[in-house]
Every structure is written in C-alpha cells, then in structure tokens.
Amino acid sequence: MKGLISLIVGIIFSIGLAYSGMTQPHIVRGFLDFFGNWDPRLVGVMGGAILVHGISYYFIKKRTSPLLHTTFHLPTKKDIDSRLIMGALIFGLGWGWAGICPGPGIVSMVTGEPAFFYFIGSMLIGMKTFQILERRKSL
C-alpha cells in the first residue's frame, strides 16, 4: 500500500513538474537570469507548491503518525553549518549551468533526448562520489 502511494505521488509530482514548465530548462534558467530577461514562472511554481503544502503540513503535523506508517521521517538537524551552504552553492552552480535539477532531469528522460541521460548519469556519479568520500572520512 505504501508502495502504491509512492507510485501515485510520483505520477502527480511529474505531471506537476511538466505542466508547470519545470521540464523546460530555459524556463528555469530564465528565472535565474536576474540580470537578463527575467522569467517569473518558477516563483509561481514554488509559490503554488508551498501554499498547498504549507497549509497541509499545518494539519498533518498535528497527527502523531502518518496513515500507513508508524512514524514521520522528518529531518532532525537544526544547525546551519558550512556543509549545508557549500552543498547548496555547488548544487546551485550545476542547476544554473544546465537549468536542470534532479526531478525534472529524471522526468525529462522520457523525451529520449541524450542531454538528460548525460545529466542524470553524471548526477548519479556525483552522488556516489560524495557517498564514497563521506564513508572514507568516517572510517
């Protein structure tokens, strides 16, 4: 049942991404192009998403547990460390360079366009690289 919910959430999420324009890198980079021909559409996407989830979160957090699971898996970290900011900055550089972030990159693979396969393949290598470095550090 939890798997079915995940599948349905994935379907709704990808339709939302595509319909909102986030699967078109020029719309994403248009938003980041503050000193050029600025495109406000990403503000609408994030605003719409935060409006809906901000309200739903207010009600969901009153529950002691989710409907199909024993506990909520919410992030527990509260501190702002250099790792958070460095990571976000590195991500942002990559995001602006191609106009693609993980969700839209994966959804856009349905076009068969090689660019998205290069992007996602390389993204997985970047993730694995970080995981290996992390593991080495903790040993």
Partner 1 sequence: MESVIGGMLIGAAVSIMLLFNGRITGISGIVSGLLDTKTLDKNWRILFLLGLIIGGFVFKLVHPQSFTLISNAKTMDFIIAGFLVGFGTLMGNGCTSGHGVCGISRMSIRSITATVSFIAAGAVSVVLFKLLRGSL
Nearest in space to 45 (alpha carbons), one of 104, 98, 91, 89 = 104
139 binds partner 1 (CB under 8 A): no
* Closest distance of CB 136 from partner 1, Å: 14
What track of x and - describes contact with partner 1 for positions 14 through 53 (by CB under 8 A)? xxxxxxxxxxxxx--xx-xxxxx----xxxxxxxxxxxxx
User: How many positions of this chain bind partner 1 (CB under 8 A)?
Assistant: 111
From residue 59, alpha-carbon distances to 6, 10, 13, 53, 74 in Å are 20, 22, 21, 10, 15
CA distance 26 to 39: 9
Interface mask toward partner 1 for 77-116; x: CB under 8 A: xxxx--xxxxxxxxxxxxxxxxxxxxx-xxxxxxx-xxxx
Residues from 54 through 73 that contact partner 1 (CB under 8 A): 54, 56-57, 60, 63, 65-69, 71-73
Lookup: tokens for 7: 């599948």
